[in-house]
Amino acid sequence: MDTSANLDLLPGKFSDDTVREIVAAQRRFFRTGTTLPVSWRIRQLKRLKEAVLAHEAEFIQALADDLGRSEVEAYLCDIGPIVVEINEMIRGLRRWARPEIHLSGLMCFPSIFTKVYKMPYGVSLVISPFNFPILLTIGVVAAAMAGGNTVVIKSSSKSAASTAALKRFFAEVFSPEYVTLIDGGHDIADICLAQRFDKIFYTGSPAVGKHVLTAAAKNLTPVALELGGETGNWCVIRKDANLKDAARKIAFFKLTNAGQICININQIAVAEEVAEAFLSELKLAFVSQIGEHAERNPEYPKLITDAAYDKCAQLADEYCERIIFGGTGDKQSCKYAPTIIYPVDINEPIVQQELFCPLLPVVPYKDAEIDSLMDTIAEREHPLAMYLFTCNMRWANRVMQTQQFGGGCINEVCIHMMVKGVPFNGTGHSGMGAYHGEWGFREFTHPQTVLRGSRWLNLPLREHPYSGKAGKQKMALLRLFER
């Protein structure tokens, strides 16, 4: 593919006409069948991986500019996972894309075999978020490419440096009729949603997810949504938990990206029998990992915008009398320290919304009333993640098999996302669909069933007449075949 003129083809300001032409050009390219051969897709994925590694320094700098990420955190959370994800696709794609062969069955005789082809949808739209702008753009694009689709990307205007880097990246690596990035604000996103795409993948908030679904419904476009969940992700600490271990892991996770992670811990429920001991361990863990004043530490990430900082600070002010750790920030750098708020009642507003910031409300409960607590959580909107800390594996396994949520961990946080071959997804207000590895390939392909018939030995079983002696004979055969 010739990408030499890509930068000239992409305007600085997009309009209805330019976006419509981009989509039309991609549709024409898709109809040529170029993206269908698996060998071609693998070559593009290898090209994508090589380009990611070549642009690593640029991406790390962009993440530092947008979110204050350190080099280690940028590689740990964005660059490294992309490379692992693409490698998994390169190794597995031939097997995933192979048509399934099924016996047609007696009712379909004389047809013997039926195949299920994994067909790409066509022209896909990927709307990516600000919090992991590199990972959640390139990772989803890789899944769309593995499925044989073309891709239009609408990246977040909030992460401006990353969007600029991604725009240059894709323009240099792929031709715009295959993959192209459109930048801009909500108005440009709406222009994109007004076009007829064959698949839409959106990552972001439930409120915008509803808007995406509404727009997609006009063209009956299939949609995958990866959302954060309206009432947040719970972490439950039982009285038999290893408190030091739990505190260490929770502190690490809450510090990552300053809490701006869709699967991050939104609130903690801790057994009141061990609440004071746990909170002491959590404070020590924060100080050990980031220091007394996180907002002064250059390794600590920042909130994405002034508005995000103000929202966090205002909410902290509302609960200032119950802040037992943190509660300080630096407006100029947009950094707000990890902040523990305790005690909080389970019905207070702060634990019934997705926070997406370093605030950490803690709800005490009686350990003997754990089932009542889990019932309350279950009655709310399904979270994207659930984390349990306990030695009671029987209870933990029962909870994980009966509660509804996207994914989670027992005595661990977040790393279920790093396991190869498993899906990442939400349910209800935390999303629909799934991706990562083969699940991403499945998300961007449609299983297309094709039966191969025969010109010989076709029995008149399905044909009229259905009455008289012939009808009785057919009914007897039907009852025999359809047992």
Residues noted as catalytic: 226, 262
Q: Provide the CA 162 distance to its chain's centre, in angstroms.
A: 18
Residues near 99 by beta carbon (within 8 Å), at least 6 away in sequence: 115, 116, 117, 118
Residue 348 phi/psi, 5° resolution?
Answer: -75, 150
Going by C-alpha positions, the residue among 21, 16, 27, 432 that lies closest to residue 190 is 16
Going by C-alpha positions, the residue among 437, 406, 441, 434 that lies closest to residue 261 is 406
Q: How many CB atoms lie under 10 A from the CB of residue 168?
A: 16
Asked if 200 and 219 touch (Cβ cutoff 8 Å), the reply is no
Asked if 102 and 115 touch (Cβ cutoff 8 Å), the reply is yes
Asked if 131 and 262 touch (Cβ cutoff 8 Å), the reply is yes
Interstrand relation of 123-127 and 199-204 (parallel, antiparallel or unpaired):
parallel
Going by C-alpha positions, the residue among 36, 24, 2 that lies closest to residue 149 is 36
Question: Residues 309, 310, 314, 315: is their CA dihedral positive or negative?
Answer: negative
Interstrand relation of 434-435 and 329-330 (parallel, antiparallel or unpaired):
unpaired
Angle at 219 between CA 216 and CA 222, to 5 degrees: 55
Place of tokens 């924060």: 286
Q: How far is CA 32 from CA 25, 26, 35, 195, 474, in A?
A: 11, 10, 8, 21, 46
Residues near 386 by beta carbon (within 8 Å), at least 6 away in sequence: 233, 234, 236, 399, 400, 403, 405, 407, 408
Asked if 206 and 228 touch (Cβ cutoff 8 Å), the reply is yes
Going by C-alpha positions, the residue among 364, 380, 336 that lies closest to residue 279 is 364
